[in-house]
Structure 1
Amino acid sequence: MTSKQDKIAFITGVSNQRGIGAAVCRKLASQGINIFFTYWNSDSEWPDIFQSEILEMGVRCEGLQIDLSKFDSYLFLLDEVSKRLGFPSILINNAAHSVDSNYMDLDAKTLDEHYDVNVRATCLLSVEFARRFQKKGRMWGRIINLTSGQELGAMPGNLAYVASKGAISSFTLSLSAELAPLGITVNAVNPGPTDSNWMTEDIRKHLLPKFLMGRIGLPEDAARIIAFLASEDANWITGQIIHSEGGFYRS
């Protein structure tokens, strides 16, 4: 399954117009790849509007609202993708849970909430994707995870998020070794601070001097590197954590 017309990309965490997930869907759809996206806590009308936008690009598109913290969500999701569009060849684990937590307020509930979405859902979606991929005798697949550069420097005030995303970086490396014989590449992207729906004007002013290329990262920047890793051209790249940050300087 190598022609673009046959490819289906499954992207989690596409919940707003300005997010990385939406930018990835648009980029892949522009390349003729069919799209299945998930969302949660989104504006009630936006997912339908977004689906129509992708359909107008000439590909098939389905969306599904789901809480990825649910224990068996990964099984239900892969069943739904297969039923609605067919089995995907590209899995992009973009969904994330993030609540500020420092050493004074970190507790078990906060850790569990981050683990459920950022670690458990990502890991189980990835391995179930690989199991079904193998059973179907496929020869070409992609898993792309999103990380946050937590190994490059301290991220104080965000302890639960850092711990969960750090786990995904390690998981990516070891899973890539197991899945390489199947023809599935496994990589992760750290897009750096990205001006999506979370940045305020004060945050932008604080971050801008740290970007040596003179501007803050945009969702489209992340989408380009993710689309490359999902392409035929990235066939020889696996087990990598790619830091695509525009020269972001940690000082």
Structure 2
Amino acid sequence: MTAHKQLFEKKSNKIAVITGASRTQGIGAAICRALAQDGVDIFFTYWSKYDQSMPWGIDLDEPRLLQGELRHRGVRCECLEVDLSAPDAYLTVLDEVNRKLGDPSILVNNACFSTNDGYSVLDSTSLDNHYAINVRATTMLSVEFARRFSKGSGGRIINLTSGQAKGPMPGEIAYAATKGAVEALTLTLSAEVAPIGITVNAVNPGPTDTGWMSEEIKQYLLKKSPFGRIGLPEDAARLVAFLASEEAAWITGQVIHSEGGYMRS
């Protein structure tokens, strides 16, 4: 039996929305692949302008390459370039998912905004930029997803966070504050939407090599890794795929630290 036929035969009839999958090397792309491997149809968002402004950069054809790869795996895949900092972007995303694929049962809030901004340089503009993506977009996508959900069971919301509750993150005040809000959202929303059949969890992937690490950073992290290696996007993706599955139906309101025992002290 060919791999393509196997994928077709295990088609799940589920639709997942994954935000922030611009880069083929990123966590968002790895999550798309992991869910597609389980036969889930994929709708991902990307915003190339942000990645172009970051040190790691992006090839402008990466989202289309990812879309083609996922379709080749035997699932339907659509994507949308959208600035999630726009106040009504969450409506645009979910309307487009419904129009192109149908009603989603899985939402993965992976997109984030992150810049270095210790107390000596932080200003209100930077804080607002972090808030718009990390808090407002995540919250509004989540609540609108829940409002539209009507299947009665099997709904999944999975947020990506950064372990800021496990220790300080010097030089990242706005990022730590807004990702901390995501953890608070995860717990409270999980209680609200449980009666309609949705679980809500968060994943902290820890330091993950998505192409941004210098050799100096890698060597520093290796010293703090009990397993002697650095986290890969696939590590986080496997956990997200599990939380999206039927096997995780009894897990909700949790922040799971999938970081290989990373030692902060």
- The alignment's TM-score, normalised by the length of structure 2, stands at 0.91
* 1:137-190 C-alpha deviation (Å, 9 max, x unpaired): 542200000000000001000110000000000010000000111110000000
Q: How much has 1:197 moved relative to structure 2?
A: 2.5
Structure 1 window deviating more from structure 2 (23-32 vs 44-53): it is: 44-53
The one-letter amino acid of 1:98's match is S
Identical aligned residues as a percent:
62
The Cα shift of 1:200 comes to 1.3
Unpaired runs of 5+ residues, structure 1, are none
- Read off the aligned partner of 2:203 and give its amino acid letter: V
Task: Name 1:64's counterpart in structure 2.
Answer: 80
Q: Deviations over 1:7-39 (max 9, x none)?
A: 001000001011000000001101111000000
| Distance in structure 1 (CA, Å) of the matches to 2:255 and 2:138 | 15
TM-aligned CA deviation for residue 4 of structure 1: 4.6
Q: CA deviation at 1:47?
A: 1.2
Residues 26-105 of structure 1: matches in 2 within 5 Å?
26-41=33-48, 42-105=58-121
- Where does residue 5 of structure 1 map in the other structure? 12
SS state at 1:10 partner: strand
Please tell me whether the aligned partners of residues 12 and 38 of structure 2 are also in contact (alpha carbons under 8 angstroms). Answer: no
* Aligned equivalent of 2:27, options 20, 29, 43: 20
C-alpha distance in 2, partners of 1:137/1:59? Answer: 21
Q: Which letter does structure 1 place at the counterpart of 2:211?
A: N
> For 2:242 and 2:103, how far apart are their aligned partners in 1?
21
Letter of the 1:127 counterpart: V
Q: What is the distance in 1 between the residues matched to 2:64 and 2:140? A: 27
Whether 2:195 is the aligned partner of 1:188: answer no
How many pairs were matched up?
Answer: 247
TM-score (norm: length of structure 1): 0.96
- Per the alignment, residue 177 of structure 1 pairs with 191
Matches within 5 A, 1:186-225: 186-225=200-239
Q: Give distance in 2, aligned partners of 1:5 and 1:98.
A: 34
Any unmatched runs of 5+ in structure 2? 1-9, 49-57
